[in-house]
Each structure stands twice: as structure tokens, then as C-alpha cells.
Chain A
Amino acid sequence: MDIFLQQLINGIVLGSIYSLVALGYTLVYGILGLINFAHGDIVMVGAMVTLTVVRLLSDSGLPGPLVLGIGMLTAIPACMAVGYLIERIAYRPLRNAPRLAPLITAIGVSILLQNLAMMIWGREYLSFPQILPTRTMAVGGASISAIQLLIVASSTIMMAGLSSLIRKTRLGNAMRATAQNPEVATLMGVNVNTIISITFVLGSALAAVAGMMVSAYYGIAHYDMGFILGLKAFTAAVLGGIGNIEGAMLGGLLLGIIESMGAGYLGTLTGGIMGSNYQDVFAFFVLILVLIFRPSGLLGERVGERP
């Protein structure tokens, strides 16, 4: 039972991170119908910037949470700028181009970001200074650490904020209108270009926070960490129904839980034949199953053949 609870907690923590990253994919996809392959690398930039700031300040005697906060507040604008630039340079000129063209530029941007990061921060794994208390809380035989609580709490707050932003504000209205039909939205006085830029910037801010979380949680950062994380988060977005905000949150959470349960129980279930090294297979397998039975994801709307 404690293993179950512990894996559930780990899964929720992992899932919260996936959700934040998945939101970035889903926001962009909802509006442009484009897989932003470079999104995972924006997460990496967020992690790297946070790490640099935290390392600089770790000897300053400031309290740990404050240092982490400063790091995050540096990473968010940095990532926003990167996201904005990517959209302007690599995606906007190709808006009426064949659909696979922006996919290739996205791949190009991803390669570019990774190698820039490698030049700036080197190819070694960088360790994240231990600045948060390592004390853990016991809950029914399982333990929760401070960073885990922080991750779940802050991602919940951010997702709630994003949700109400999109539902209640004028900006959210404009975003939804653009997602439904850019041309009609233009007629209604929405500046579609601005909305698309804002969408990228918002997604990048979430990615920055996710980057901070990942590197603080695992205590490590690396220039190609964004790739596999982005892949998982994209899977999560598709699982929930890509283009759907709630879907991304649910998909991320589910994927996190599925993965950690898989890692915890796969060995015992298969009599030791398949260990936790099959964790990733598990995630993709669930994805394929879901898509076969619900081709538009869990919460995705069933759209007509040609919208």
C-alpha cells in the first residue's frame, strides 16, 4: 500500500511538470495547428537560466526559496524572449507555406537551441545546488518532500490562472476566437499576429517554470534534457486531446501517474521479465491504445474530416 501511495505521489509530481509543458504544446497547436518541436528546448533554457542564477546566489546567504524565486523570475522573461523570437523568425514567415515546412524549421530551431546551450553551458551534466530543505513529510506510509509540494502547488496555481485567463478575460476571448477561425477573428477586430505572439510567450513562461521544477527536482540540468521531456509532454497533450487546455492538464497528470505506476509495478506484474526500463514503452503503449479507441484524445472534440 505504501508503495502504491508513494508511486502515486511521485506520479502526480511528475505529471504536474508534464502538464505545464504540455500546455505550451496545446496552446500553440490550438491556434496554429503546429507542433512546436522546439518547446522542449525552451524548457531546457528555463532550467539552465534558473540554474545559473541559483549558482550565482547560492553563497549569498539569502534563504533558499527566495533564491529559487529570483532564478525563476529571471528564467521566465528569458524564455519568453526566446519563444517570441522563435515565432517571429521561424514560424511566422511560413504561415501559408506547406504544412511540413514549419515542422522542419522547428526541428532546426531545436538543434540550434541545443547547440547554443551546449556552447554556453558545456556538455557536462550540471548539478543543481541543494537550496531547499530536504526534510520530508510522512503521509500514510509515504513521504513527500518540500520540493514536491512546491511543484504540485505552484503548477496547480499556474494552471488555474491560465484557465481563468482563457475563460474570463478579453485576451482569452481573443485567443479562443483565433483558435476557432483566424479570419473571422480578424474581422471582429482581433489582431491575430499579436495573439499568436502572446500565445507563444505564455507557453514559454510555463516552460520556464517547468524547467526550474525539473532541474530543482532531479537536481540536474543538461543541454539535451528538453528533448525527451518535450516528447513526453507532447504525448501527454495528445493523450488529453491536443488543442484542449483541460486535456493537456489531465493528459500530463495521467501520463505521470501511468509512468510511475509502470515503473513501480511492471517488474512484479511480469515476473521480473520487464523491469522499469520499459517505463517509456508503457507510456507510449497507453497512448496508442487511447488513440485507437478515442482517436481525438480523451477530452478532444470529435472534429469533422475537413474543418
Chain B
Amino acid sequence: MKRYLKLAAYAALLLLLPFATGLALGKTWVRILDFALLYVMLALGLNIVVGFAGLLDLGYVAFFAVGAYCYALLASPHFGLHLPFWMILPIGAFSAGIFGMLLGAPTLRLRGDYLAIVTLGFGEIIRIFLNNLDTPYNITGGPQGIDLIDPVRLGPVSLNQPPGHAVYSYYFLFLLFALATAFVSTRLQHSRIGRAWAAIREDEIAAEAMGIDTRNLKLLAFAMGASFGGLSGGLFAGFEGFVSPESFTLTESIMILSMVVLGGMGHIRGVVFGALLLSILPEALRYVGPLEQSLFGKIVIDPSGLRMLLFGLSLILVMLLRPAGLWPSPARKRELLAHGETAKHENTNIYDAGR
């Protein structure tokens, strides 16, 4: 009974949150909440690759881009196609998954940092192609991107209606998807596949000796992580109504990775927490400028620089104080607390994403 009460309390909190935020801080902050939910989905997707399977991926935003452009091309005047969103989202997720396999297949033999740099290069390649595929045939719209993308429509109702309330309706849409993503992630982690991933992450050779098909499972991790990214990309395109290569830079990949690591990778609650924190913190730091104004009566230091400075500083501090992330899984915490030479050895090797 107590459990249900708790659940009901959480549900009420999540349902009322946007309205409370909207009343207290204004619509801009509801929009920030929407984006935070998108980041939760992205971070959970990347967590499958990095946290579960231990494969370091620095080009994750490429899959986000694939999903977003899928939506943009299939539901905008650009090609004159206007498919409904429930048809495009699977297409986007599926194409992103295919791209994930494309990236995974040739790179499976690579380990650790080599894998990191190849994924990084892959991400950049996708972005550069998006940026330049407006000649000789205009496919992606080049640096200008694609605009006038159809909003998400449930039956006859567009989520952009009534005007001005879009941020609220998208909040609930994103919340639904984020909860589903978290649910799938949790189930995945404890499934046969998830346990196999953990085995690969801890020791690939031992995993192989136990009869785990490491090649296919690593491919699967890439594909699943990528399709989560594609899904959130589609939602992003529908929400923004505009996509351009600007949104899919390496900085974005790094940001998502920071969310996963900072939160406590492999631990779903930790990752969700990390995503919420890192998407809201830079926005909250926007108040640095007004704060300076009120403290000193004038702008002493450039506020936007100071804001990112504080952000970088907090990344460093958090990692120095909590190397395993802010909210690591209980098992992981025990490992870190364990003393002795063996534990030290394991700590350096366990999460090395393959050496």
C-alpha cells in the first residue's frame, strides 16, 4: 500500500511539475524541462552503449541527428511529404539503428580509445555530410537546415494547438517517452542480454569463454543505443519545427557523455539524474549575470563566459569528489569502497571501456 502511495506521489509530482514551473518561473523554464526530458532519453540511450556494454562512444549525437533529419525530411514541405509522427518515429529509430550497426560493424575489433576516436570521426562525418548535402541535389538543406517541420499530431489534434501551450503538451509527450525509455532500459539491464553486456564490459575474454557471442551483442548494443537516439531525434524535430547541423556538434556528444558519466554510468537512476542536472545547470547559471548586477551594481565579468566557466568547474569538482559519478549503482559503490591491491587493480580496469 505504501508503495502505491509513493508511486502516486511521484506521478502527481511529475504531472504538476510543468504547471508549477510555468507559474513560478515562466514558460522558458517549461521549455528547459522539455529539453531535459529529451536529454534523459539521449543519456539513457548512450548509457546502453557506454554504461552497459562498456564501449566508449564519442559520436552519439550522430544518431540523434539521423532521427531528427528523418522526421524533418518525411514531415515538412522540403520534399512535400507529411507522414504522421507515429509512422516516422519508428522509421527514424530504425534508420538510426542501421547507422549504429554501420558504425559498429567495422569498429568492433577496436578497443578503448581507438573506438572513441572512430566514433568521434563518424559523428563528425555525419555532421559534415548534413552540412554539405545541399549540392548538387538539395537533400538536407545544407547549413540552413530544414524548417517548417510539421508538429507532432495526435489524430486531428496538433500539439502546437492552442498556440502558446505547446511546451506543456510536449512535456507530457516527452515524459511518456522518457518513462518508456527508462522502463525498457531497466528491463534490458536485468535481461539475459543485459547480463551478457555486463560480462563483456567486465572482461571480454572471459565472456567469450562463457559462450557469449560478443560480436553480435556489441553490435546489438550499438544498434539499441542508436535507436534510442533516433527516437529522441524525431521528437526533437517535431518539437523544434526546425533542424540544422548546428544542433549536432561534437560538443553535444560530449555533453551527453558527461551526463552519463557524471550521473553514474550503468546506473539508470544515476544517469537520469545526471541528464537532468547537466541540462538544467547551464540554464540556471544564466542567472549569474543578473546576480552580478544586483551584487555589484554592474556587470563585472562577462556573464556568458562566467556561466560556462562555472559549468566546467563543477564538472571537474564533481569528478574529483565523486569519481564514480554522483549516484553510482550500489554494486559499483561497494567495489570502490573495497580496499586492498585487488580492488585497486579492478577499479582501474573495470570501467576502462576495453583497454
Contact = CB atoms under 8 A, between A and B. Distances in A.
A81 interface: no
Contacts of A291: 107, 110, 114, 117-118
A98 B319 CA distance: 10
A108 B319 contact: yes
A115 B308 contact: yes
A25 B319 CA distance: 22
B302 to A, nearest CB: 6
A296 interface: yes
Interface in B183-208: 204-205
Interface of A: 29, 33, 35, 89-90, 93-94, 96-105, 107-112, 114-116, 118-119, 231, 234-235, 238, 242, 272-275, 277-278, 280-281, 284-285, 287-288, 291-292, 295-297, 305-307
Given A100-B265, A119-B306, A281-B128, A288 B118 contact: yes
A29 B114 CA distance: 12
B40 to A, nearest CB: 18
Given A238-B117, A278-B132, A291-B114, A110 B312 contact: yes
A279 B51 CA distance: 33
B305 A277 contact: no
B348 A90 contact: no
Given A94-B319, A107-B315, A109-B316, A277 B128 contact: yes
B264 to A, nearest CB: 10
B281 interface: no
A98 to B, nearest CB: 4
14 contacts: A29-B113, A89-B316, A97-B324, A108-B315, A111-B312, A112-B309, A115-B305, A115-B306, A281-B124, A281-B129, A284-B125, A285-B125, A292-B106, A306-B205
Interface in B3-50: 50
Instruction: Say whether chain A's binding surface is mostly helix, strand, loop, or mixed.
Output: helix
Given A273-B135, A281-B129, A285-B125, 9 more contacts: A98-B348, A99-B352, A100-B353, A107-B312, A111-B315, A274-B132, A277-B132, A284-B124, A295-B109
Contacts of A102: 319
- The 4 A-B pairs at the shortest CB distance, nearest first, are namely A111-B312, A108-B315, A97-B323, A284-B121
Given A280-B124, A284-B121, A101 B316 contact: no
Contacts of B355: 33, 306-307
Interface string B76-118: 0000000000000000000000000000001101110110111
Given A90-B316, A105-B316, A284-B124, A235 B309 contact: no
Interface string B268-307: 0000000000000000000000000000000001100110
A153 B188 CA distance: 57
Given A107-B254, A277-B128, A292-B106, A99 B136 contact: no
Contact of B311 (A33, A100, A111, A296): A111
A232 B349 CA distance: 28
A110 B308 CA distance: 11
B182 interface: no
Which of A96, A108, A292 gathers most chain B CB within 10 Å? A108
Given A97-B323, A112-B309, A284-B121, A231 B250 contact: yes
